[in-house]
A and B are shown apart, each in its own frame.
Chain A
């Protein structure tokens, strides 16, 4: 006897499936980060490779341990923790002792992700929380920048990278400065071409702005990233710094310099767009991006630190649930100005 053909199937929503799931999106973010990662390893050699490996490893280990301790199924397969690790590694200065890398990765995932309940519940971007912890715990090591493109970068590992756990790093070579600290403390501007192509000092993954934009464009083209957030950040940073530059070209940096220096590209494209920690509505995303962009300019121009992208995004993350509460989409069927039925 054959089973009768089903003519009517009753299911709960969603009825239309896009084919995108958490793992496909996360895997594509990894793909989008590949050019940046490759450039980081090309520019800083073994130091960057080891930093990134340990960063990913410590984040994955923390996630696995948290899943084990809370009796949950392992969530390593959704790639999200791999992205956290990779992004975290890309924000660190090359030559940072590997034990500090591991401490930050572990804290970031454990504090900002696992304790909040895992993926989808983290109020803050775990990669940035990890970086903020390392920055607060080891401020000197986090502001010692190894120069890129040294001749022996593929054959030797800097001594500071291999520092024994709990001990202070000793920098054997000359440490360079980032374009932002050169500008802030020495009043020296870097060439915009060098900034865009990545021939400057800085964190492993933040130097080459063009490759980051390429990865972002890929994600936007595949509709896996909200373009409004980076666009709002870039617009606000560009307008604010352009007006400051117009006021006093001696004191303030030109807008292109502001856009391509420091972690702005990496932060705006890959960190601020964290799907969990950013607002849900389009208008909310624009506001959120504008807030982050404004904070970046304020911290960089008037703050004590040369760079402020990390704190700007973390503050943006903290505000995003409030933005979601203020800006709510109109309930389907209700009229403008009318309370929801």
Chain B
């Protein structure tokens, strides 16, 4: 995502806001699909995954941005991966200390944050070219946007798939769970639904902004 005007003139709040809605990592950029589909079967897993990614994204963006003048261009990707892997290891251990159940539920997907294309993408596209402050704002916005997206996926899947939210039952005992929603295919259904909604809203906004222009077909 290339901004149309130089970064020096962009206010920092915009760096923060853009990840939440306009360039939302999941619903607009469709990045980081692996954890978004795999561990969003309950709202709790989705929130934990989102926060873990937010932490790694924030820390790695700040570190990479601070080091951007010292890292030779040829080895930058390896350096980024090393930095990201360090923070993923921290998250891995902290999560084990906080809740072993949650760590087991998220499984390999915690380690897989290392290769999450969202994090590497932000490091390459943003942190390596901007100041640490701006990179932190960018990471916060993108991370929160990712968390919100995962949470909305997880909420839909948990409500339909087990009739509960964050483990609290929402309906009386007779509720019929939609088994498919907690299966992997349910992730695709929920994601498709949210993407549909997002695109419809974006299109409507574009139409309202310029009534003369025909919506894209």
Binding site for B on A (CB under 8 A): 97, 100, 133, 136-139, 141, 163-164, 166-169
Cβ–Cβ contact B176 & A136, under 8 A: no
Q: Which residues of B contact A141 (CB under 8 A)?
A: 176
Cβ–Cβ contact B174 & A138, under 8 A: no
Partner of A133, one of B171, B175, B176, B180: B180
Cβ–Cβ contact A138 & B175, under 8 A: no
Cβ–Cβ contact B181 & A137, under 8 A: yes
Q: How many A-B residue pairs have CB under 8 A?
A: 28
Partner of B180, one of A136, A168, A169: A136
- Shortest C-beta distance, A322 to chain B (Å), equals 22
With the chains together, A262 CA to B183 CA distance in Å? 27
With the chains together, A133 CA to B180 CA distance in Å? 8
Cβ–Cβ contact B175 & A139, under 8 A: no
Q: Which residues of B contact A169 (CB under 8 A)?
A: 176
Q: Which residues of A contact B183 (CB under 8 A)?
A: 136
Cβ–Cβ contact A138 & B185, under 8 A: no
Cβ–Cβ contact B171 & A166, under 8 A: yes
In the complex, chain B residues 162-199 whose Cβ is within 8 Å of any chain A Cβ: 171, 174-176, 178-181, 183, 185
Q: Which residues of B contact A138 (CB under 8 A)?
A: 176, 178-179
14 further A-B contacts with Cβ under 8 Å, apart from A133-B180, A136-B183, are: A97-B176, A100-B176, A137-B179, A137-B180, A138-B176, A138-B178, A139-B179, A141-B176, A166-B175, A167-B174, A167-B175, A168-B174, A168-B175, A169-B176
A141 nearest CB neighbor, chain B only = B176
In the complex, chain B residues 85-133 whose Cβ is within 8 Å of any chain A Cβ: none
Q: Which residues of B contact A97 (CB under 8 A)?
A: 176
With the chains together, A137 CA to B175 CA distance in Å? 13
Q: Which residues of B contact A137 (CB under 8 A)?
A: 178-181
28 sample A-B contacts, Cβ–Cβ < 8 Å, listed by A number? A97-B176, A100-B176, A133-B180, A136-B179, A136-B180, A136-B183, A136-B185, A137-B178, A137-B179, A137-B180, A137-B181, A138-B176, A138-B178, A138-B179, A139-B179, A141-B176, A163-B176, A164-B174, A166-B171, A166-B175, A166-B176, A167-B174, A167-B175, A167-B176, A168-B174, A168-B175, A168-B176, A169-B176
